[in-house]
Every structure is written in structure tokens, then in C-alpha cells.
Amino acid sequence: MQNPDKPPMTTHTIIVIILTGLAAGMLGGMVGVGGGIIIVPALVYFLAFSQHQAQGTSLALMLFPVGILGVLNYYKRGYVDFRYAGLLAIGFVLGSYLGSKFSLSLPEANIKKVFAVIMIIVAIKMLFFDKK
């Protein structure tokens, strides 16, 4: 039976998840960010995850080896979806490769500016445009 708190795994959902992983991987490869900056907001805004579900699934993707205790806490409360974490990982692996290749071709000053702009955009979104 499908959990009503989790979106169904439609083709559209799978594409959104893989593209989210790809974007997060690219940013991770470019400027060392990804999970909290890309994956968590994407799961919340595009797939209607709760904040806890998004954080738990993001942790399962990136921190499982080193953050297993955090993942287990979220999992015990029902906030981890390993299907989504696996699909995110597919995009993240490819994205991190592409993002790092691109980043290494740019001057460090440009990468710092990209990082700063991403952080500002996310902060403004969370402060002023977040759904109540």
C-alpha cells in the first residue's frame, strides 16, 4: 500500500528526482554544496515532502556511511525514503562529476561568487517566500 505522505513514483517524479540529484551533484562538484541547498528544497517544493521527510531522505543519500545514526533516527520516525535517496544518488554521482569538471575550468573567484549567489537566493526564498 502506498504511504499517503509520500508522492507516487510516477515517471515525472523519477525524472524530477534524478534531475534534482544531477543539479545537487553539479553544485557539489562545483562549489561543495548540494544536499541542504538543492535536494531538501526540491523535495519540499516540487514533490510536497515535509521538511523532515526531505531532510531524512537527503541524509540517507549523502550521509549514510558517516551519518548512519542520524539516518537511523529519521528512518525510525518514518522520514526516510530509500527509493528517492537511490534515484537522487544516480543524478548526484553524474552531476558531481560534471560539476567538478566545470568548476576546475573556472577561476576560483568566479566559483566563490556562484557559491555566494546560491546562498543568497536560498536565504531570500526561505525568509520571504516560504510556504506557511
pLDDT digits (tens, 9 = 90+) for 54-89: 888 887 887 767 678 888 888 999 998 899 989 988
Q: What is the pLDDT of residues 55-64, one digit of tens each?
A: 888 878 877 6
Indicate whether 91 belongs to any domain.
Answer: yes
Indicate whether 1 belongs to any domain.
Answer: no
Indicate whether 85 belongs to any domain.
Answer: yes
Indicate whether 3 belongs to any domain.
Answer: no
Q: What one-character DSSP code corresponds to residue 62?
A: H
Question: Please, what's the b/e burial string for 68-90 (b: 16 or more CB within 10 A of its CB; e: otherwise)?
Answer: eeebeebbeeebbbeebbebbbe
Structural domain total, the chain: 1
Indicate whether 10 belongs to any domain.
Answer: no
Residue 70 CA to residue 110 CA, distance in Å, equals 34
Indicate whether 30 belongs to any domain.
Answer: yes
Phi then psi for residue 120, to 5 deg, are: -65, -45
Q: What is the pLDDT of residues 8-45, one digit of tens each?
A: 789 999 999 999 988 888 887 777 676 677 888 888 88
User: What pLDDT is stored for residue 64 in this prediction?
Assistant: 66
Indicate whether 11 belongs to any domain.
Answer: no
Residue numbers of the domain that contains 124: 18-128
Indicate whether 48 belongs to any domain.
Answer: yes
